[in-house]
A and B are shown apart, each in its own frame.
Chain A
Amino acid sequence: GAVVSQHPSRVICKSGTSVKIECRSLDFQATTMFWYRQFPKQSLMLMATSNEGSKATYEQGVEKDKFLINHASLTLSTLTVTSAHPEDSSFYICSARDELWSTDTQYFGPGTRLTVL
Chain B
Amino acid sequence: QKEVEQDPGPLSVPEGAIVSLNCTYSNSAFQYFMWYRQYSRKGPELLMYTYSSGNKEDGRFTAQVDKSSKYISLFIRDSQPSDSATYLCAMSSYSGNTPLVFGKGTRLSVIA
Contacts and interface: CB of A to CB of B under 8 A. Distances in A.
Asked if chains A and B come from one complex, the reply is yes
Interface of A: 1, 4, 6, 32, 34, 43-44, 46, 49, 51, 57, 91, 93, 95, 102-111, 113
Contact of B49 (A93, A102, A105): A105
B34 to A, nearest CB: 6
15 contacts: A4-B43, A34-B99, A43-B88, A43-B104, A44-B44, A44-B102, A51-B97, A91-B41, A103-B49, A103-B51, A104-B94, A106-B46, A108-B36, A109-B43, A110-B42
B67 to A, nearest CB: 16
A44 to B, nearest CB: 6
Interface of B: 32, 34, 36, 41-46, 49, 51, 88, 90, 92, 94, 97, 99-100, 102-105
B35 to A, nearest CB: 11
A57 B100 contact: no
Contacts of A4: 43
B44 A108 contact: yes
B46 A105 contact: yes
Given A43-B104, A104-B92, A6 B34 contact: no
A113 B41 CA distance: 8
Contacts of B49: 103, 105
A52 B109 CA distance: 39
